[in-house]
Every structure is written in C-alpha cells, then in structure tokens.
C-alpha cells in the first residue's frame, strides 16, 4: 500500500469520481487554478478542465445554493468551503435548502451534494476560523456529517459521500492534510455510519472522531506504557448516521467510557453519545461517563495557549485516570 498524505487521498477520491461520473463537479474558492487553498485539489483543474473544476467568487451563500439547485437537477456537486467556519454565511442554503428540500417536497426532490473543507482549531487563526460545526449540523435531520481521521478513511468516505443521494457535510482538518497514511492502490469505499475500532482494548473505551481519534490513540499508548491501562479507541468516522452499535459494543466490553472530541462539550457530539450510553448500557457501566472536549470558550489565538484549549493526549489520560 502506498503511504500518501490525507490531502492526496481526498484528491484521489475526487479524480476517481470525476472520471466515473460525468455529473460530479468540484466547485469552490481557489479549487481550480490556485490548486486549492490547502492543495487538496491540486492538479485536478489541469487534468479535468474548466467544466469539472470550477473557481468561484467569495460568495459562499450563492455557490452553495447554486450547488443545491444543480443537485436538484441531477448534478453531484462537491463544494469546498475554504474553512467550515465560513459556512455561517451560507447557513440558510445548507440548513434550509440542502437539509430540508427533500422533506418539504415530500420526497420528490433529492439533493446529492457534498459540502467539504477543514473544520478544526489549533492553527492560531482565531475564533472565527476555528469552529468545529459537526455538532451544529448533525443536529439537522436531512443532513449527514462525516469526520475522517486518516488518509484511508478520508478517501473511502469521500467516495461514498459523492455517491450518496443525500447532502453530506464532510469535515476535514488542516492539521491532518499533511499526515501520511496507507491507502490501497485498488478501489475501496467506506460506508457512512460505520465506526472503526482503531485500537482494541479491554479497560476503557475512548470514543472519538476526527483528529481526536488520533489523540485518543496517543493517549492509549501512554495509558498502556505508564499506567498499564488497556484502552480501546472507537473512531465514529461519521456522526450522522451514527454507528451506535459499535459504541455500545465497546462499552459493554470495557465498562468505562471517555468521550473525546474537539467540539465544546456543551451540546456537543459527546452529549448525544453520553445519552446513548445512559439509555442503553447504564447497568454495564462501572464508572461515570467522562468527556474531553475543547475548553468551553471561543478559540483563543495565542499560539502558546491554543493547543491547551483543544483535547490533548495528556488531558485524555488524566480523564481516564479519574475512572480507572
């Protein structure tokens, strides 16, 4: 298997799907001639031309809404947000139009669109550019939300998202774009709604998604080396649909859970996971469910401090030690 960057895994997914389906079109700011603000789409404009890879003005509401309208006619637009934080200026198009059009038309209209881009903190760009809106958007029935942690997952999930007939909000991470991972030469798909146990363990379940799944893996190594605690890491990979069975099966095995993600814990993804645990495996739990999220304030700029606002392996370890 080739060892490639997360961004190139996505790039491969786009190229393969553009070749496979004439209705797939990449649209966004700087995606074509500039090769992508984060080089995720590099080379695709040269390879596929103006029709399939399209630069837009800085008009998120118009180009996302345009994608929704085009999707209604049968195109499969893959729309880049330079940052998911910029989705706020296009919220009506995402929530009301992409998210509700199928329902309000009684199932007459489909919206096979992918809206994608990075959604993370940790790059010292301040609160307006550091949102992690997977919990905002997973709260909207009609939308799907995907948060891959690795190059392998990113490619397989992107290909499934493009082929999906519902609107998929695909959240990447600027801190992961340069991370290398093994990606097979042959084609593969990863279904939405299928979690991945990234590390088997017996003492505690670390349930995470996105980059936090990688932080949980690092924490698990520390826990094993320094505390002889064998942690299991469950990567949700998609938030909606959610692989509830994987979460419950892991906790039935370990009887302890620490939920880790970059959302603020209040009304975050972990709030829902926690509720699911209470409702389904309360009697299996040997300790209260604990959570590690970003510290509950707007994202601070200070390069010295921002890393401490996000989940860290050390914070995860400390939380596990409270219950193990």
CA distances from 46 to 13, 18, 33, 54, 67 (A): 16, 13, 8, 11, 22
* Number of residues lying near another protein (CB under 8 A): 54
Residue 247 vs 316, nearer CB to another protein: 247
Task: Give the neighbor-by-neighbor strand order of the sheet with 290-294.
Answer: 196-199, 231-235, 204-208, 257-264, 290-294
Per the CB < 8 A criterion, the answer to whether 195 and 201 are in contact is no
Among 14, 38, 45, 63, binds another protein (CB under 8 A): 63
Instruction: Report the alpha-carbon distance of residue 6 to residue 3 in Å, rounded.
Output: 10
**Under rule CB under 8 A, residue 201 binds another protein:** no
Catalytic residue among 17, 129, 131, 306: 129
For the CB of residue 119, give the shortest distance to another protein in the complex, in Å.
20
200 annotated active-site: no
Report yes or no: 258 and 288 within 8 Å, Cβ to Cβ: no
CB 231 within 8 Å of CB 290: no
28 binds another protein (CB under 8 A): no
Name the residue nearer to another protein (CB basis): 64 or 220: 64
According to the binding rule CB under 8 A, does residue 141 interact with another protein? yes
Q: Which residues contact 106 (CB under 8 A, 6 or more apart)?
A: none
Can you tell me the distance from the alpha carbon of 101 to that of 91, in angstroms, rounded to the nearest whole number?
14
Among 39, 125, 218, 241, binds another protein (CB under 8 A): 241
Cβ proximity to another protein: between 4 and 154 the closer is 154
Residue 96 φ/ψ, nearest 5 degrees: -80, -40
Nearer to another protein (CB atom), residue 81 or residue 220 = 81
Q: Which of 17, 29, 60, 172 is catalytic?
A: 60
Closest contact distance (angstroms) between CB of 77 and another protein is 8
Give the footprint of another protein on this chain (CB under 8 A).
25, 51, 56-57, 59, 61-75, 92-93, 96-97, 101-110, 112, 141-142, 144, 160, 164-166, 191-194, 238, 240-244, 272, 279
Catalytic residue positions, numbered: 60, 129
């Amino acid at each position: 298997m080739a060892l490639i960057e997360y961004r190139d895994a996505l790039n491969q997914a786009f190229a393969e799907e553009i070749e496979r389906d004439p209705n797939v079109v990449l649209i966004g700011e700087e995606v074509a001639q500039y090769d992508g603000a984060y080089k995720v789409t590099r080379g695709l404009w040269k390879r596929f031309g103006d029709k399939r890879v399209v630069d837009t003005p800085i008009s998120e509401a118009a180009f996302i809404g345009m994608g929704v309208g085009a999707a209604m006619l049968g195109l499969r637009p893959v729309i880049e947000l330079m940052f998911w934080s910029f989705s706020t200026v296009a919220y009506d198009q995402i929530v009301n139009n992409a998210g509700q059009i199928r329902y309000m038309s009684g199932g007459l209209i489909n919206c096979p669109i992918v809206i994608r881009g990075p959604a993370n903190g940790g790059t010292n760009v301040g609160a307006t550019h550091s949102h992690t809106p997977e919990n905002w958007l997973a709260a909207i029935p009609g939308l799907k939300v995907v948060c891959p942690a690795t190059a392998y997952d990113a490619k397989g999930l992107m290909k499934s998202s493009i082929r999906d007939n519902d609107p998929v909000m695909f959240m990447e991470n600027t801190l992961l774009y340069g991370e290398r991972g093994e990606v097979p030469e042959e084609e593969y798909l990863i279904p939405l709604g299928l979690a991945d146990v990234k590390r088997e363990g017996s003492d505690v379940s670390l349930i995470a998604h996105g980059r936090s799944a990688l932080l949980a893996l690092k924490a698990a190594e520390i826990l094993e080396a320094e505390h002889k605690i064998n942690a299991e890491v469950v990567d949700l990979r998609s938030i909606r649909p959610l692989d509830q069975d994987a979460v419950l099966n892991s906790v039935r095995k370990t009887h302890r859970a620490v939920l880790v993600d970059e959302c603020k814990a209040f009304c975050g993804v972990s709030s829902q996971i926690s509720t699911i645990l209470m409702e389904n495996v309360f009697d299996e739990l040997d300790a209260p469910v604990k959570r590690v999220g970003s510290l509950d304030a707007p994202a601070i700029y200070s390069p010295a401090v921002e890393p401490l606002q996000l989940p860290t392996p050390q914070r995860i370890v400390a939380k596990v030690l409270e219950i193990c």
